[in-house]
Structures are given as C-alpha cells and as structure tokens.
Amino acid sequence: MIRRIALASLVAVLAPLTLAAPAQAKGPVSAVVSGPGIDTTRLTFDSDETELAALLDIAYPWIDGRGVWRAERPAGELGPMYSVAYRMPAKMGPDRKEVVRQKLYPFADGGAVVYTARGQTMFGAPLQHGWKTASAQLTAVMQDLGAADPNAATNAASVTPAAATSTREVDDSGAAWPWFAAVAVGIGVLVGVGALWRTRQRPNRG
C-alpha cells in the first residue's frame, strides 16, 4: 500500500511527461511483465496506470534520448532477471503491432539495471539500446507487482543462527542452576550433621 501511494505521487508529479509522451509519440499502450515471483502480468493505462506510467518513464528506451545508455554491462551481481514486452498501438491493422522487449534487474548490486537489445524500433525509428542504471523507483514498481528481493531473505537467514546461539546460551545457563542448588543442599546437610555430632559429644566430655 505504501509503495502504491509513493508510485501514485510519482506519477502525479511526472504526469505531464509520462502520460503525454505516449500520446504524442504514439508510444506503448501496454506491457507484459514476467519473472520470479510475478505471474505473467499485463499492464495497461486502463487498469494499471500507476505502474505502467512509472515503468515507461523509468525504463523505456525513448527515441528522444532520455537517460544514459551504455554498451558495457554493469559490474557486480545483477540478481534475478525480469522480462517486459511493450506493445504499440495497431500500426497496419489489428494484427500488426510492434513489440519492444527489455530485461530488468531490479535487485542488482549497484542499483536497478535495465537492458535493451540493439535493433529494436518504434514505428520504424531506432530506439536507444544497451545498459542503463535505473532509479530505486524501478525496484519499487517490480516489488509492487510481486518481485521479492533475494538479498532480504539472505539477510534474514544470516540473523537466525546468531539468535539461535543466544537462545542456547540462555538455556545452558538456566540448566546449570539445578547443580548449584544440589551443591548448596549438600553443604547444608554436612553442616547440620557436624553441628549435631558436636552437640552429642559435649555431654560425654562433662
């Protein structure tokens, strides 16, 4: 819910750019997203305006040169890969639609990363291609769709052994108390026997 509110705020601020751009340039009208944790999901402006508008603004390789695209793959682990296919309005009849495909890495070590293969076009015009570092908003969008951060599970697993060790230490210290109690009782018995013996010996000495 919090991510949806944040994304809605982002779209409200960027609405003149994100929503007007597809209308003016006849950009994508929908997107199909799939990957670990996400059942194949089709986003449209009618049903998923917030996610689709944010995805287009953050990741789409617009012709007008938004963002910086590089040929070199970013260093570090990229994490799980998600696929997105953007669909254009009908160009030459209902069965002739261009599709632009991308690979998204929302949990890469250095921050979210997008890859667009060379040679893709939008209505005949070449799109930008290569690698692009995206903002944290891409990660938020993907998590809102169901993607899970694998680093979160790793961090949780690393905390568990320490917690278990602490529990065992507490249990072990508690288990030592019966031994201390037994020793104390034994000492008490010995002291009592000694006192009784001395009491019985005093009359004999008189």
Mean pLDDT (whole number) for 68-91: 92
Structural contact between residues 32 and 48, judged by C-beta atoms closer than 8 angstroms: no
Does the structure show a pLDDT above 60 at 158?
no
Mind listing the pLDDT tens digit for each residue in 14-66? 343 344 443 334 689 999 999 999 988 999 988 888 899 999 999 999 988 77
Structural contact between residues 54 and 137, judged by C-beta atoms closer than 8 angstroms: yes
Give the rounded percent of residues in the chain with a pLDDT score beyond 70.
57
Taking the model in full, what pTM does it have? 0.63
Which among 47, 33, 114, 44 has a CA at the least distance from the CA of 79? 114
The pLDDT of residue 98 is 84
**φ, ψ of residue 39 in degrees (nearest 5):** -65, 145
Structure tokens at 182: 């037994």
